[in-house]
Amino acid sequence: QHFQPAFQPLKGKKVVVSAGPTREKVDPVRFLTNFSSGKMGYAMAEAARDLGAEVVLVSGPTNLAKPAGMKVLDVESAQQMFEAIWAEYDVADIVIKTAAVADYRPKNVYGQKMKKQPGEAVLELERTTDILATLGAHKKHQLLIGFAAETDDVENYGQQKLQKKNADYIVANDITEAGSGFGTDTNSVTLIGYDYKKSFPHLPKKELAYRLLTTIAEREEFK
Ligand code: CTP
Ligand code: CA
């Protein structure tokens, strides 16, 4: 209903979107992951495409159909996601980090299936690369848009992430709110920039993605 082919503020822009969860292998039969469905990230990629951008979608494992009209790179781990985005970074104009990247991965990945032992077990974890923070630390011309799914103090945490990761915008959402966050088709978010804040109504993710990108395009004076 909002698709206006004539309105293409992202025409000529190369947009890299990351979406979905990551999978961090424990052994050949197990992995660590999270509840991300990829819906918001895919909606962002489709909205960017509809607004005229050339889109690369770097996707963790999801059950979603491959969107038409863009390059899709399938990845599993945080490290693979990082490498795929990094390879596109120099030529990207906008990077949108909707993905729910694992913060930790198993320190040792076992080649054989781990067998249970008597009593308790401990899985040792190490930190993954913070992709958005690394992009922020090496930012040149790129516009960086991060996401933050929080369960409390949403705007405050969003603001902190904006600064810590040197992003240009953070889309913050309260995943405890009914119909918001992981797996749902709708979301309600606050867009946070430097000295800037805009709350959006509860909307379908596709509609919200379109509104977020048109709001940013207008603020950045993309034509
Ligand atoms: N992010 C990333 N690489 C990571 C972790 C997060 O690029 N290893 C990105 C996400 O894609 C998102 C933003 O950073 O755009 C915020 O993610 P979030 O998990 O909310 O923030 P963290 O910095 O990981 O903080 P915490 O999970 O402790 O709240
Ligand atoms: Ca995190």
Please give the distance, rounded to the nearest whole angstrom, from the Cα atom of residue 160 to the centre of ligand 2: 13
How far apart are alpha carbons 17 and 93 in whole angstroms? 11
Which residue's alpha carbon is nearest to atom 16 within ligand 1? 148
Tokens representing 208? 């919200």
For the sheet with 14-19, list strands across it: 71-74, 54-59, 14-19, 94-97, 143-150, 169-174, 189-193, 196-199
Domain locations along the chain: 14-104+123-219
Instruction: Establish whether residue 161 lines the binding site of ligand 1, counting it when its CB lies within 6 angstroms of any ligand atom.
Output: yes
Grade residue 1 by pLDDT with cuts at 50, 70 and 90. very low
| pLDDT of 2 strictly over 70 | no
Q: Per-residue pLDDT tens for 23-34?
A: 999 999 999 999
Q: What is the pTM of this model?
A: 0.96
Within 13 Å and on the Cβ side, how many CA atoms surround 46?
Answer: 18
Domain 14-104+123-219 coded CATH 3.40.50.10300: yes
- 56 beta partners: 16, 71
Instruction: Establish whether residue 85 lines the binding site of ligand 1, counting it when its CB lies within 6 angstroms of any ligand atom.
Output: no
Tell me if residue 34 is catalytic.
yes
Mutate to test the pocket of ligand 1, among 40, 97, 151, 190 (most ligand atoms within 8 A of CB): 97
Please give the distance, rounded to the nearest whole angstrom, from the Cα atom of residue 30 to the centre of ligand 2: 20
ipTM of the shown complex: 0.99
Over residues 190-208, the mean pLDDT reads 95
Q: Per-residue pLDDT tens for 131-180?
A: 999 999 999 999 999 999 998 999 999 999 999 999 999 999 988 888 88
